[in-house]
Amino acid sequence: MKKVIAYTRVSKSVREQLKKKYEVTYFENYEYINDPEFLKALKEASGIIGLELKVTEELLNYAPNLEIVSNVSVGYDNLDINAMTKRNIMATNTPGVLTNTVADAVFGIMLATARRIPELNTFVKNGNWKEYLQLEHFGTDVHNKTIGIIGMGSIGEAIAKRSHFGFDMNVLYHNRSRKEHVEKVYNATYCSLNELLEQSDFVCLMVPSTPETERMIGENEFKRMKQSAIFINGSRGKNVDEKALYQALINNEILAAGLDVFEKEPVNPDNPLLKLDNVIALPHIGAATRENELAMSMLAAKNLEMGLLGKCPPNIINREAYYDDHN
Ligand code: GLV
C-alpha cells in the first residue's frame, strides 16, 4: 500500500475514502519541519494532499519517494514548482470547483466594506444604537458603481457576472490577455492598470501570486485610486504592499479596504491594518464553505489517485514532471 500524507483541509469523508487505498497519516498543522512524526511520514510518502503546505527544496530533500503533491486550493504559491519538476514530482491544484464560492465571498466582502456591516454590527451589539442612525455611520452604494477587476481568470469572470447582472455595475478589467467573452457578455472594458485604478470605485485584486505580481499594488497604485475608492484583496497578501496600504488608508487617499488575505497568514494580531475601522479583515474565507471543502477535497483526491496510478492527473500544473517520467 502506498503511503500518503494528508494535512490541514482535506475533508474527513475524503480522508476515509483514501484510507481504503493508501496508508494515510493526517497532520492538522503547518509546523512540519520540526515535527519528527511528520519527517518520518515524509520519508515514506508517495503522495501529499492538503492546503498550504510549503513545499520547498528543503522539504523535498526529506521526501525521496514522493511522486505527487495535490494541493487543495487553486493557488499554488506554496509549491516550488521548479524544484518539484526537477525531481519529476507532479503538482496539482483544484481549479473550477471553487470559482463561484470565491466570487460570492469577494462580493460579500465588498458589500460588507461599502456598507460597513461588521462595524455597525458591533455598534448595535455594544448597545450604541440609541437614536436614528447618523450620517457619520452611513456607507457607500455598490450598485451602479464602477468595479475594476485586476486578473480576469475564472474567478474574476464570476465577479464580473455578479457585478453586471446583479448590481448593474460598470465593469473594467485588467489582465495579461483580453477576454472577448467577458467583454461581450458582461459589457466589460479592458484597460491599462493605471486607467483601471483611476476610474474604479471598487478595485478588486484577483491575480495569482507570482514573482511578477509581488507587491504589484503599492504606494504609486494607491495614489492613483480615487479618494472614495474601496480596495478589495481576494487574491494573495503578497500581491499588496501592506505598509503602503496602511498609509493610503490613514492619509485618506482611499476610503476603505476589504482584505481576505494577508502577507503573513494567520495574520499577526499586531498588524496595524487590524486597528483601522475602515478595514474589514477576514481569515482567508474565499473558498471556505462546507460544500466547497468537500468538492475541492474530492477533486484533489482524484488528482492524487491518478498521479499515484501513473496516469496524468486532470489538473496537473507541471506536465513536464509527468511526461519525463512516463513517456
Ligand atoms: C484559495 O485561496 C485557493 O487558492 O484555493
Mean pLDDT of the chain: 96
What's the CA-to-centroid distance between 68 and ligand 1, angstroms?
A: 19
Residue 326, pLDDT > 60, answer: no
CA-nearest residue, atom 5 of ligand 1 = 73
What's the CA-to-centroid distance between 287 and ligand 1, angstroms?
A: 6
What's the CA-to-centroid distance between 137 and ligand 1, angstroms?
A: 33
Once rounded to an integer, what is the mean pLDDT over residues 12-27? 96
The angle formed by the CA atoms of residues 141, 147 and 152, to the nearest 5 degrees, is 150
Dihedral sign of CA atoms 231, 234, 237, 240 in order: negative
CATH of domain 3-97+290-325: 3.40.50.720
Residue 51, pLDDT > 50, answer: yes
Atom of ligand 1 at shortest distance to CA of 94?
Answer: 5
Atom of ligand 1 at shortest distance to CA of 235?
Answer: 2
On whether the CB atoms of residues 73 and 95 are closer than 8 A, the answer is no
Atom of ligand 1 at shortest distance to CA of 284?
Answer: 2
- SS3 assignment, position 310: coil
Catalytic residues: 236, 265, 284
Q: Which residue among 52, 73, 210, 235 is best mutated to probe the pocket of ligand 1, counting the most ligand atoms within 8 A of its Cβ? A: 73
Once rounded to an integer, what is the mean pLDDT over residues 261-278? 97
Domain boundaries, the chain: 3-97+290-325, 99-281
Alpha-carbon 327 to chain mean position: 34
Residue 84, pLDDT > 50, answer: yes
- pLDDT band for 143, please (50, 70, 90 cuts): very high
What's the CA-to-centroid distance between 95 and ligand 1, angstroms?
A: 9
CATH of domain 99-281: 3.40.50.720
| Global confidence as pTM | 0.93
- pLDDT band for 327, please (50, 70, 90 cuts): very low
Q: Which amino acids bring their CB within 6 angstroms of ligand 1?
A: 73-75, 98, 286-287
Q: Which residue among 8, 94, 102, 155 is best mutated to probe the pocket of ligand 1, counting the most ligand atoms within 8 A of its Cβ? A: 102
- In the chain, the percentage of residues whose pLDDT exceeds 70 is 98
Residue 131, pLDDT > 80, answer: yes
> In the chain, which residue ranges form alpha helices assigned H by DSSP?
12-19, 36-44, 57-61, 81-86, 99-114, 117-125, 154-161, 167, 180-185, 193-199, 219-224, 242-250, 290-308, 319-326
What's the CA-to-centroid distance between 96 and ligand 1, angstroms?
A: 11
Q: Are strands 256-259 and 230-233 parallel, antiparallel or unpaired?
A: parallel
What's the CA-to-centroid distance between 51 and ligand 1, angstroms?
A: 9
Q: What is the pLDDT of residues 26-48, one digit of tens each?
A: 998 766 777 889 999 999 999 99
- SS3 assignment, position 281: strand
Q: What is the pLDDT of residues 272-304, one digit of tens each?
A: 999 999 999 999 999 999 999 999 999 999 999
Domains 3-97+290-325 and 99-281 share a fold: yes
CA-nearest residue, atom 4 of ligand 1 = 75
